[in-house]
Amino acid sequence: MKRFEDIHADLIQHRRARALSNRLADIIPDRFAVLDVGCGDGLIGRLIGEKRTDIQLRGLDVLVRERTYIPVERFNGEVIPYEDASFDGVMFIDVLHHTQDPMVLLREATRVARKAVVIKDHTLEGLLAGPTLRAMDWIGNARYGVSLPYNYWTKREWLDAFNELEVEVGSWISNLGLYPWPAGYLFDRSLHFVARLDVPRRQTVPVQKRTT
């Protein structure tokens, strides 16, 4: 099992992190302060920062790993511990499908973000999408103790949620090219997307922790 995990890390995870960070860096606006919620070890955030030196990143996670690539603080998985409009943007990278109700964190994100919410997640679309996504999730996350409710939404469900939150889809990108050939034929398809949601203009406040 250890050998399999090493191969997965070398051949899949590192390439995926680089490809995904490039996609995300392209849609984050200039001079953004971003809170990366559920950031894991923060590698993707670090890679975004290397490409976009105008972006400031800090992380939140329910499980803070011993070694991280960006500063990471612990939170309870539901309430983002910052005041309203504290950051230019909030980012979720493959986080929301790990929650029982993605709307809980989405509402928190639209509260904390002044300008945008950036999401990388999955769409439950296409032949054998459910089994494929569950297998990918288990391989990538089970050994870290990450919750695996396999809560995947269709594109229609995502768009309905964004409409309920009254945010505008400023960017939606699928076919991300995260995996090398031939794995891409199985694992890319229409299973992934990156989106930037533009939130209503809000008053700017200093970044600070909530006191309640």
Taking only the tens place, the pLDDT of each residue in 200-210 is 875 445 555 66
- Is 180 part of a structural domain of the chain? yes
Band of residue 15 on the pLDDT scale cut at 50, 70, 90? confident
pLDDT of residue 4: 42
Q: Is residue 124 part of a domain?
A: yes
Mean pLDDT for all residues in the chain: 88
The predicted structure's pLDDT at residue 136: 84
Q: Percent of the chain at pLDDT above 90?
A: 68
Which pLDDT belongs to residue 66? Answer: 92
The predicted structure's pLDDT at residue 212: 46
The domain total for the chain is 1
Classify residue 209: in a domain, yes or no: no
Name the residue range of residue 37's domain: 2-198
101-105, 182-186, 198-202, 206-210: which is most confident: 101-105
Span 31-79, pLDDT tens digits: 999 999 999 999 999 999 999 999 999 999 998 999 999 999 999 999 9
How many angstroms separate the Cα of 53 from the Cα of each of 19, 31, 35, 202? 17, 9, 15, 25
Q: What is the CATH number of the domain that holds 23?
A: 3.40.50.150
Domain membership of residue 203 (yes or no) is no
The pTM assigned to this predicted structure is 0.87
Confidence of residue 14 (pLDDT cuts 50, 70, 90): confident
Identify whether 205 is part of a domain.
no
Position 116 in a domain: yes
**pLDDT, position 7:** 45
Res. 185: pLDDT tops 80: no
> Does 120 score more than 50 pLDDT?
yes
Of the ranges 84-88, 137-141, 208-212, which one carries the lowest mean pLDDT score? 208-212
Whether residue 16 is contained in a domain is answered as: yes
Tell whether 210 is covered by a domain.
no
